[in-house]
A = this chain, B = another copy of it.
């Protein structure tokens, strides 16, 4: 019997599943990718996860018997102790015990945590936040996710789902209980950017993204970056608006916690890069209250698409993001509630 000397990281997103075999030292040996069957229910999702994991193992020439642990990042809310996806806005599953299921399928303990938690954990070990102990991550994509890393550990909090920075209310006058309006996500996500361009077009404005933001279209971050670079007016306005809101959220969190570093990631940040960073920085510096003795530091994710799967693999190695109970349960394949 060979040693269990390999990790598997899985990053479940609303549009794609990424999986990779990773060494305990953090070297990625393979990468597999599948489209997420987001509307096809739990069985299709589990099958796609297993297939992507298998492909990553095959590519790396690694058998299941060598897997020491599996880490998986997923949109939430989750029950990380029991490895259960409670619900998720973009994938049609509910109370899905994906951790125990994958543990049986792959014959190794599975650690489940929020996708952005995994990505920020990865950035803290091998990316933009290396060496930093107090870090807040904001991931701007289709939605807005977040993670608070305090003294090197992911903060889960009493609800086991802390870090939901996208749900912070920034427009209390428009906000209503249980509705997304007025939250950071509502104002700053790619979905919000598309909505603002669409509104501009409806009011008679012109935009090269008219098709992509229409009811049947889909706005890819790369198109967004192109239109922004071309100076498309509605796009520039919508992106500046998003960055202002992200900067205000950063300033508010700086006022409350003053962490060493904020890390920005996700599709929008990856596509717009330093331009977006500069806009966010400007807004954050303008709104932060006390900066005499320490300023707001913001950096872009360095690991890009690898952040989630690498962070997940290393989190599984370290057993940090979720409790030991969850790992044991997962290892035994006990189903979630």
| A120 on the B face (CB < 8 A) | no
**Cα(A130)–Cα(B244), bound, Å:** 39
**Cα(A157)–Cα(B296), bound, Å:** 11
Count residues of A near B (Cβ-Cβ below 8 Å). Answer: 56
Contact A77 B292 (CB under 8 A): yes
**Cα(A135)–Cα(B86), bound, Å:** 26
Given A248-B175, A290-B164, A292-B86: A158 touches B259 (CB 8 Å cut-off): yes
Contact A156 B286 (CB under 8 A): no
B residues near A161, Cβ cutoff 8 Å: 258, 289-290, 293
- Name A163's closest neighbour in chain B (CB-CB): B256
Question: 8 Å CB contacts to B: which residues of A279-295?
Answer: 286-295
B residues near A160, Cβ cutoff 8 Å: 258, 290, 293-294
**What's the dominant secondary structure at chain A's contact region?**
loop
Contact B175 A172 (CB under 8 A): no
Contact A255 B77 (CB under 8 A): no
Contact A162 B286 (CB under 8 A): no
B residues near A163, Cβ cutoff 8 Å: 256
Contact A254 B159 (CB under 8 A): yes
The contact string, 1 if C-beta is below 8 Å from chain B, for chain A 71-88, is 000001101000000100
Contact A260 B158 (CB under 8 A): yes
B residues near A177, Cβ cutoff 8 Å: 286-287
Contact A148 B187 (CB under 8 A): no
Given A79-B293, A177-B287, A287-B175: A251 touches B159 (CB 8 Å cut-off): no
B residues near A248, Cβ cutoff 8 Å: 169, 172, 175
Question: 8 Å CB contacts to B: which residues of A188-222?
Answer: none
Q: What's the nearest-Cβ distance from chain B to residue A136, in Å?
A: 8
| A229 on the B face (CB < 8 A) | no
Contact A255 B292 (CB under 8 A): no
Given A160-B294, A171-B172, list of 9 further CB < 8 A pairs? A86-B292, A157-B259, A159-B254, A159-B294, A160-B290, A164-B290, A165-B255, A173-B173, A178-B286
A-B contact pairs, 16 of them (CB 8 A): A76-B290, A79-B292, A79-B293, A86-B292, A155-B257, A158-B258, A158-B259, A159-B258, A159-B291, A159-B292, A160-B294, A162-B256, A168-B252, A170-B171, A253-B256, A256-B256
A-to-B contact residues, CB < 8 Å: 76-77, 79, 86, 134, 146, 148, 150-151, 155-165, 167-175, 177-178, 187, 244-245, 248, 251-260, 286-295, 297
